[in-house]
Chain A
Amino acid sequence: MPDFFWTTIWPWIIWTPVLTTIQSLAILVPLLVMIAYIIYADRKIWAAVQLRRGPNVVGPWGLLQSFADMAKFLFKEPIIPSGSNKILFLLAPLITAFVTIAVWAVVPVGAGWPADENSSWVVANLNVGILYVLAISSLEVYGIIIGGWASNSKYPFLSALRSAGQMISYEVSIGFVIVTVLLCVGSLNLTDIVLAQRTGLANWLGIPWLTVLNWFWLPLFPMFIVFFISALAETNRPPFDLPEAESELVAGFMVEYSSSLYMLFMLGEYLAVTFMCAMTTILFLGGWLPPVDVWFLNWIPGVVWFVLKVWGVFFMFAMVKAFVPRYRYDQLMRLGWKIFLPLSLTAVVAVASVLHFFDLAP
C-alpha cells in the first residue's frame, strides 16, 4: 500500500494538482492585476490623444479606478431579461471568461529558472502549444454568439451574427501568418518559437550583439503587420469593433447584460487583447529575450522584458483605437478575405520556398 501511495496517489492525485494550482495562481494573479492597469492605460491613452484627462479621481492619478469599477459591477443587481434563455444567458459570459483565461496556460512568460537555457516559465509546456492556442481561441466566438442569441433581443442578435463572421474570417489569416512563423521554427511549441529567435538575421549580418534584429518581425515584416491588424479584428478592438458599434447597435451583444455578467465579458475582452499582445511578443518580438546583448540587460529577468514588450504592443493597440475611425462591415470583410488571405497565403508559399531552396529550413 505505501508503494501504491508513493507511485500513484502522491504524484498524480496530490502533488501534480497542487503544483499546477500554484503555477496557475502564480500566472493568474499578476495577470488579473495587470488587466486592471491595462484597462486604466487604455482609457488614459485614449483620453490623452483627445486632450482629456481620463480617470483621475480614484486613488493617486486615478490608479485605483479599475478596482472601483470592479466593486461597482460586483455590487450591482444582475438583471436577466424575462424573455431570455436563462441558462445560456448566464453561460455566455462564463464561456468568454473561462476560455480567455484558459489560453494563458501555454504562454511562456520568462526564461527557465534556474538558468536552464532551453526551458521557460509556463504552466503547461505543450508540444502542440500553437494548436492549443488556435483551438481555445476558436471557442471565444461562442461567448459572443450565445450571449447575443440568448438575450432574445434584436441588437445583440445582429451583433452576434456580425461577430461570428468577423472572428472566423480573421482566424484564417491569423492561422496562415502563424504558419509562416512555424516554418521558420520547425516546432509547434511556444517555448521553441521564442528560443528559435536567439539566432537569426543579426548573426547573419555580422552584428550578433544587436539581438533585436534576430526576432522574426524583421524577416517576416509584412506578416507582422498582417498579424497585428488581424489581432485587432479578432479581439473586436477598434477600428474593427463592429459587434459593439455603439452608433449602430447600442452596445452589441452586451446590451442586455449588467453587473458581474457584464464584467465577465469586459474581463474576457481585455484578457483576449492582452493575450494577442503576448502572442505578438512571442511570435515576432522574441518573447522574454533582451533586445541588445549587453551584460546589464541580460541580467534583467526575462519576465520583465516579456511584460515590457506586451505593454509596448498594447500601447499600439490603444493608439490605433484613438486614431483610426471605425471600418464599415463590407470593408472589414473585403480586407480579411480579399487582401489578407491571398497575402498571407502567398507569404506561406514564399517563406517555404526560400527556406527550401536556400536550405535554411530547421
Chain B
Amino acid sequence: MGLADVFFYLFSALTVGSGLMVISARNPVHAVMFLILAFINAAGLFILLGAEFLAMLLVIVYVGAVAVLFLFVVMMLDIDFAELRAGYMKYFPLGALIGFVVLGELVALFGAWNVEKGHRAIPAVPIPDPAKLPNTEAIGRVLYTDYVFYFEAVGIILLTAMIGAIVLTWRQRDVAKRQNVAEQVARTPAMSVEVRKVETGKGI
C-alpha cells in the first residue's frame, strides 16, 4: 500500500464521517462546520487524482463563498430546532425509502459495470499528459473552444438567476433613508457652515 492509498482512505473516511455529522449534529452551526470539513477533504481527494485545479476551485467556491453564506444564514436565523426535529420520525420512513432506492440503483449500476482490467473509459477529448500540460491550461483549452457555447449558456443562466434574486428581494421603501454620495462629496463649507458673530450674553 503506497502513501497515496493511505491518504485516499484518510480523506474519504473523513469526508464520509463529516458528511454523517452534517445531518446528525444538533447545533446547525456545527453542521455547517462539518460541511466545510467535508468540502476540504473532497478537495484532498481531487488532489490525489491529480486534478489540482478542481481542488482549488472547490475550496474557493464552496468553502470560501457558499459555506460562508450558509453560516451567515444559520447564525442569523433564530430557528427552533427542537420543533423542526419533532416531525423527524414522521418523515423518516419516506426518506429511508428514497435512500434505499437510490442505493439500490447505484449498486445495480456499478455491480453490472464490467470493466476489463487495465482498460479505461474512452474520454470524449484526449486527456493530455499532466506532466506536459498543467490541468488549468488543459481545461481552459477545451472549455473555451469545444464547449464555449455551453460555457456561455451557463454564464447567462447564472446571470438570470442573479437578476431574478435581486428582483424578488428588491423593494423600494419611502421610509428608508439613503445616502447620496455625489451630493455628500459635492458639499462645500459655504453650503453647510455659517459663521456668526455672537455677542456675549445673547443668543442667535
Q: Quick check: B33 and A88 within 8 Å, CB to CB? A: yes
In the bound assembly, the distance between CA atoms of A209 and B71 in angstroms comes to: 53
Residues of B near A136 (CB, < 8 A) are: 59
How far in angstroms is the closest Cβ of chain A from B178?
9
From A126-134, A241-249, A300-308, the one touching the partner chain is A126-134
Task: Tell me whether B75 and A139 are in contact (CB under 8 A).
Answer: no
Interface membership of A188, Cβ < 8 A: yes
B123 at the interface (CB under 8 A from A): no
In chain A between 313 and 362, which residues have their CB closer than 8 angstroms to a CB of chain B? 330-331, 334
In the complex, the answer to whether A13 meets B64 with C-beta atoms within 8 Å is: no
Q: A149 contacts the other chain (Cβ, under 8 Å)? A: yes
Partner among A13, A135, A149 whose Cβ is within 8 Å of the Cβ of B75 = A149
Closest-by-CB residue of B relative to A338 is: B181
Could you tell me the distance between the alpha carbons of A164 and B56 in the complex, rounded to whole angstroms? Answer: 21
In-complex Cβ contact of B65 among A8, A85, A146, A168 (8 A): A168
A138 x B3 contact (CB < 8 A): no
Q: Is the CB of B68 within 8 A of A164?
A: yes
A131:B57 contact, CB within 8 angstroms: yes
- Determine whether the beta carbon of A126 is less than 8 Å from that of B63: no
How far, in whole Å, are A127 and B181 apart by their CA atoms in the complex? 43
By beta carbon, the residue of chain B nearest A334 is B181
Q: Provide the bound-state CA to CA distance between A12 and B7, in Å.
A: 13
Determine if A145 and B60 form an interchain contact, defined as CB atoms under 8 angstroms apart. Answer: no
B115: min CB distance to chain A, Å: 27
Asked if A161 is at the interface of the complex by the 8 Å CB criterion, the answer is yes
Tell yes or no: A171 within 8 A of B by CB: yes
> Which residues of chain B are near A229, meaning CB under 8 Å?
none
Check A139–B2 contact: CB distance below 8 A: no
Q: Which residue of B lies closest to A145 (CB)?
A: B71
Pick from B56, B57, B136 the residue with the most CB of A within 10 Å: B56
How far is B60's CA from A85's CA once the two chains are assembled, in angstroms?
Answer: 27
Binary interface encoding of chain B residues 48-78 relative to chain A, with 1 for a CB under 8 A from any of its CBs, else 0: 0000110011011001110010011001100
Question: Bound state CA distance, A145 and B36, in angstroms?
Answer: 14
A330→B3 contact, CB < 8 A: no
Q: A141 contacts the other chain (Cβ, under 8 Å)?
A: yes
Residues of B within 8 A of A188 (CB): 134, 136
- A171-B26 Cα distance, complex, nearest whole Å: 32
CB under 8 Å from chain A, chain B span 10-37? 27, 29-30, 33, 36
Q: Which of B2, B27, B60, B179 contacts A135 (CB 8 A)?
A: B60
**B52 cross-chain contacts in A, Cβ below 8 A:** 126-128
Most chain B C-beta atoms within 10 Å of own C-beta, residue among A131, A146, A168, A331 = A131
Q: How does the 8 Å CB contact mask read for B153-168 relative to A, with 1 for contact and 0 for none?
A: 0000000000000000
Secondary structure of the A side of the interface? helix
| Pair B136/A128 contact, Cβ less than 8 Å | yes
B203 CB to nearest chain A CB (Å): 32
Q: Which residue of chain A lies nearest to B36 when distances are taken between CB atoms in the complex? A: A142
B64–A171 CB distance below 8 A: yes
B30, B64, B68, B136, most chain A CB atoms within 10 A: B64
Also in contact, A138 and B56, with CB within 8 A (given A88-B29, A88-B33): no
Pair A132/B56 contact, Cβ less than 8 Å:
yes
Q: Cα distance A149–B71 when bound, in Å?
A: 10
Instruction: State whether B64 touches A138 (Cβ < 8 A).
Output: yes
Q: Which residue of A lies closest to B59 (CB)?
A: A135
CA gap between A131 and B52 in the complex, in Å? 9
Selected contact of B136 from candidates A88, A127, A146, A149, CB within 8 Å: A127
With A13-B3, A127-B136, A330-B179 as contacts: A134 and B56 at CB distance below 8 Å: yes
B68: which A residues are within 8 A, CB to CB?
A: 141-142, 145, 164, 168
A-B contact pairs, 25 of them (CB 8 A): A8-B2, A8-B3, A85-B27, A126-B52, A127-B52, A128-B56, A128-B134, A135-B64, A138-B60, A138-B63, A139-B63, A141-B64, A141-B68, A142-B36, A145-B68, A145-B71, A146-B33, A149-B75, A157-B75, A160-B75, A168-B68, A188-B134, A188-B136, A331-B179, A331-B181
20 new A-B pairs (CB below 8 Å) besides A128-B136, A131-B60, A141-B64?
Answer: A8-B2, A12-B3, A85-B27, A85-B29, A88-B29, A127-B52, A127-B134, A128-B134, A135-B64, A138-B59, A139-B59, A145-B68, A145-B72, A157-B75, A164-B68, A188-B134, A188-B136, A330-B179, A331-B179, A334-B181
Identify the B interface with A (CB < 8 A): 2-3, 27, 29-30, 33, 36, 52-53, 56-57, 59-60, 63-65, 68, 71-72, 75-76, 134, 136, 179, 181
Ranked 7 nearest A-B pairs via Cβ: A138-B64, A131-B56, A135-B59, A127-B134, A135-B60, A135-B56, A12-B3
